[in-house]
């Protein structure tokens, strides 16, 4: 079994202003690990940004005083990001809609989960001391 280690473990206030800083930290760690440039500049920032913003705006319902936990776990084979909020959780399959259909293409919202799933190799949501969204990206 591949050995894994925690690259960072943060607890941020439930405020969208904190997203960019966390994403930058994740990009920095990934660059240090020589993850491919496209993954560092597109897949990781966009998918992680979506997961944190979803946790703040939907999971925690943009309520002040709440927090979001963001963990990055790295192994030889995977990069895993876990985003934890206080919400009731959701079913990833049920909530993802295809934003590329003619009907959805011109809608302002509804691209977040779709993008997470396009840009990551696996997206899961489950309960464990809060609602956890786990994003997995294979290193190769």
- Binders of another protein among 57-96, rule CB under 8 A? 57
125 binds another protein (CB under 8 A): no
Find the binder of another protein among 9, 16, 121, 126 (CB under 8 A): 16
| Closest approach of another protein to the CB of residue 116, in Å | 9
Specify the residue for token string 């049920």. 94
Question: Residue 125 in contact with residue 131, Cβ under 8 Å?
Answer: yes
Task: Provide the β-strand partners of residue 84.
Answer: 69, 132
Contact code string over 27-46 relative to another protein, x by CB under 8 A: -----------x--xx--xx
Report DSSP state, residue 58. I
Closer residue to another protein in complex, CB, 7/23: 23
Structure tokens at 93: 């399959």
Q: Using CB atoms within 10 A of its CB, is residue 24 exposed (0-12), middle (13-18) or buried (19+)?
A: exposed
Which range in 4-12, 49-57, 64-72, 82-90 contacts another protein by CB under 8 A?
49-57
Q: How many CA atoms lie within 13 A of 94 on its CB side?
A: 4
Q: Which residues bind another protein (CB under 8 A)?
A: 16-17, 19-20, 38, 41-42, 45-46, 49-50, 53, 57, 99-100, 105-112, 114-115, 118-119
């Amino acid at each position: 079994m591949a050995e894994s280690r925690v690259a960072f473990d943060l607890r941020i206030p439930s405020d969208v202003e904190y997203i960019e800083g966390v994403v930058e930290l994740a990009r920095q760690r990934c660059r240090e690990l020589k993850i491919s440039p496209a993954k560092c500049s597109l897949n990781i920032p966009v998918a992680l940004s979506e997961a944190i913003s979803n946790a703040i705006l939907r999971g925690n319902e943009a309520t002040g005083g709440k927090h979001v936990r963001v963990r990055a776990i790295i192994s030889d084979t995977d990069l895993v990001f876990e985003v934890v909020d206080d919400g009731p959780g959701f079913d990833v399959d049920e909530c993802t809609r295809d934003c590329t259909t003619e009907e959805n293409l011109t809608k302002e919202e509804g691209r977040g989960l779709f993008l997470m799933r396009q840009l990551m190799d696996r997206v899961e949501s489950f309960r464990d001391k809060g609602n956890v969204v786990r994003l997995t990206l294979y290193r190769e």
